[in-house]
Amino acid sequence: MQPFIADFIFFVFAAITVLGAFMAVGLKNIFHNALALALTLLGTAGIFVFLSSEFLALMQVLIYAGAISIAIIFAIMLSPPLAHKPVKRSMGKILISLVTSALILCALSYTFIKAPWPVSAAGEGDYSVAHLGQVLVERYAFAFELISVVLLVAILGAIVIAREEKKNEVVC
Partner 1 sequence: MMDLNLLHISVWANFAAFFLITFLPKNRVKLPPAVALLFSGAGAAASAVLLVRRFGGEMLEWKFPWLTWNSAQVNLGYYLDDLSLVMLTSVCLISFLIQLYSVWYMNEDADKKRFFATITFFTWAMISFVVSVNLFASYLFWELIGLASYLLIGFWHERPAPRRAAIKAFVMTRFGDLGFLAAVILLISHVHNLDIPFLNSQAAALLGPGELLLVIVLLFFGVMGKSAQFPLHTWLPDAMEGPTPVSALIHSATMVAAGVYLLVRLFPMIEVSQGGMHYILFIGAFTSVLAACLALTECDMKRILAYSTVSQLGFMVMAVGSGTWHGGMFHLITHAFFKSMLFLLSGYFIFVAHHSNSIFDMAALPLKEKSKWMLVLLWIGALALSGLFPFSGFMSKESIFGYLLETRQYPVYGIALFISFLTAYYTTRMAFIVSKNGSGPGAGDKRDSPLRGQSLELRVALNLPVTVLGILTVAGVWVFLPWHKEFFHIHTDWHAREWMNLGVTSALVLAGIGTSFFYFGRKSFSEKGWPALIPGLDFLISKKFFMDDFWNAVMEKIVKGFSRLSVWSDAHIINAAVNHVGLACVRSGRAVAELQAGEVQRYILVALLVIVSIIFYLLTR
Partner 2 sequence: MLINQLVPYLLLSALLFSTGLFGFLMRRSLIAMLIAVELILNAANINFLAFNRFMNADKSLGQIYSIFVIGLAAAEIAIGLSLVIAVYRKFRSINVEKLTELKG
For the segment 113-172, give every residue that binds partner 2 (CB under 8 A).
113, 117-123, 125-127, 131-132, 135-136, 140, 143, 147, 150-151, 153-155, 157-159, 161-162, 164-165
Residue 118 interacts with, from partner 1, partner 2, none (CB under 5-8 Å by kind): partner 2
Nearer Cβ to partner 1 (98/155): 98
Query: Contact between 91 and partner 2 (CB under 8 A)?
Result: no
Concatenate the DSSP letters of all residues of the chain into one string. --HHHHHHHHHHHHHHHHHHHHHHHH-SSHHHHHHHHHHHHHHHHHHHHHTT-HHHHHHIIIIIIIIIHHHHHHHHHHS-GGGGSPPPPPHHHHHHHHHHHHHHHHHHHHHHHHS-----S-S-S---HHHHHHHHHHTTHHHHHHHHHHHHHHHHHHHHHHSPPPTT----
**From the list partner 1, partner 2, none, partner contacted by residue 135 (C-beta under 5 to 8 A by kind):** partner 2
Query: Where along the sequence are the contacts to partner 1 (CB under 8 A)?
Result: 93, 96-97, 100, 103-104, 107, 110-111
